A and B are shown apart, each in its own frame.
Chain A
Amino acid sequence: MLEADNLECVRGERRLFAGLGFRLKAGELLYLQGKNGSGKTSLLRMLIGLLPPEAGEIRWKGQSIKSDDFRADLCYLGHLNAIKEELTPLENLLAAARLADEELSDDDALDALEQVGLAGREDLACKFLSQGQKRRVALARLVKEKRPLWILDEPFVALDVAAVDWLAGIISGHLQRGGLAVMTTHQLVDIPAGTVRELRLS
């Protein structure tokens, strides 16, 4: 479903990688590994279409990723949380869903927040939350996420052990439903379901 051919990335004067390609089918997870500065985040930004590759092509379901249809299938979680400090966790979730053109009821949003351990904090502005809790607000989006392609940049950062296990469970659930996921991480987390592939950038 997701195919990348012959990708080349140049940042500034440096060529980070060239001739990179992979194919990812439904139910598969791609782990991107590599040192700091090896181009993991750049590759992710190419995959979501924000960074045009120097050379090569990325296709989703056989189509170029430049279309609006691709973005309707894509859920991206960057290393920034993309939450608004002034809004409450509940408002953040609902606003994010509305902007992404997804249906999310109040009950579903509350349920998602309860799953990430923020029950009772739904009505507290996010600026009063800790770093880890803010990350959880961002991750709560994934609980009810139905879009088939997840691209996650360091999703396990700032999470405690229990939350890492919970997130691994959410990702396996997604793969079992036939979803695809691409993620970068420094800590190898065991994802119980799906086919795990690895790509090492160096």
Chain B
Amino acid sequence: MFKIITAVIGRDLKLAMRRQADIVSALFFFIIVVSLFPLGIGPEPDLLRKLAPGVLWVAALLATMLSLPRLFADDHRDGTLEQLALAPHPLGLVVTGKVIAHWLVSGLPLALVAPVLGIQFDLSADALIVLTFAILIGTPALSGIGAIGAALTLGLRGGGVLVSLLVLPLYIPVLIFGAGAVDATVTGLGGEGHLSLLAALTFASLGFAPWATAAALKIALE
């Protein structure tokens, strides 16, 4: 069971390394969008501190969205998806591998740069740690839920826009608890409760989303 998941992760990471433009463009999108806000709003630390969690999380959602349409589209176009569906394993495991690989190249880099970007918003050290942690445990849920949308719109024209319409509403809980965790830390309430709910969302979506995605992929392959 783990063999197939690691095989898929290994292949997808190797492909991502050969095509670094994809990773770099989503990361730079995140960096630039987040950095535009302090420039646009001006040097008002109180306002910036209030805006920071929301801005960083919305930018993280959008950056994750950028790479979603290609999650299955390339494999679909060159016929590899058929071969994956015909592998002697449940398709859900293959999808789990692809979701983890997607998180490693899209979610993890966001978490790594988030503390640096947070400094621009004059966040305290505590808040920066919670922010990094929240993005780290929240983004796997984004990859998991996003995979369902990517699979449902596979092979459709204008699939990219459709993915956003389909997936962004489902991202709202992650956004609320993710931004809430940082917000609660800034106001001194403590973000543990939000972080636990965020972790619960991630586990639930990593457990269920691959199977829903697999069902959608089977329909797309008919």
A interface with B by C-beta (< 8 Å):
45, 48-52, 68-69, 71-72, 74, 76, 78-87, 91, 95-96, 98-101, 125
CB contact list, B152-202 vs A, under 8 A = none
Among B19, B89, B221, the residue within 8 A (CB) of A68 is B89
Q: Which chain B positions have C-beta within 8 A of A87?
A: 14-15, 18
Q: List 12 A-B contacts (CB under 8 A).
A: A45-B222, A50-B222, A68-B89, A68-B90, A76-B82, A80-B78, A80-B82, A82-B78, A82-B79, A95-B7, A95-B14, A101-B4
Among A45, A84, A98, the residue within 8 A (CB) of B78 is A84
Q: Inter-chain contact count A-B, CB under 8 Å?
A: 77
Query: Separation in Å of the A154 CB from the closest CB of chain B?
Result: 13
Query: Separation in Å of the A54 CB from the closest CB of chain B?
Result: 12
**Is the beta-carbon distance between B87 and A86 smaller than 8 angstroms?**
no
**Is the beta-carbon distance between A48 and B86 smaller than 8 angstroms?**
yes
Q: Which chain A positions have C-beta within 8 A of B94?
A: 99
* Interface band, chain B: 20 to 34
**Is the beta-carbon distance between A91 and B3 smaller than 8 angstroms?**
no
Query: Separation in Å of the B178 CB from the closest CB of chain A?
Result: 33
**B59 interfacial contact with A, CB 8 Å:** no
Most buried by B among A50, A81, A99: A99
Give me 4 other A-B pairs in contact (C-beta within 8 A), A74-B86, A87-B18, A98-B10 excluded. Answer: A49-B86, A68-B90, A76-B86, A81-B79
Given A51-B222, A87-B18: A71 in contact with B78 (beta carbons within 8 A): no
CB contact list, B66-94 vs A, under 8 A = 77-80, 82-90, 94
Given A51-B222, A99-B7: A85 in contact with B78 (beta carbons within 8 A): yes
Q: Which chain A positions have C-beta within 8 A of B88?
A: 68-69, 71-72, 100-101
**B8 interfacial contact with A, CB 8 Å:** yes
Query: Separation in Å of the A155 CB from the closest CB of chain B?
Result: 14
Most buried by B among A74, A78, A87, A98: A98
Given A50-B222, A85-B78: A71 in contact with B86 (beta carbons within 8 A): yes
Q: Which chain A positions have C-beta within 8 A of B82?
A: 50, 76, 78, 80, 82
A80 to chain B: closest residue by CB: B79
Query: Separation in Å of the B109 CB from the closest CB of chain A?
Result: 20
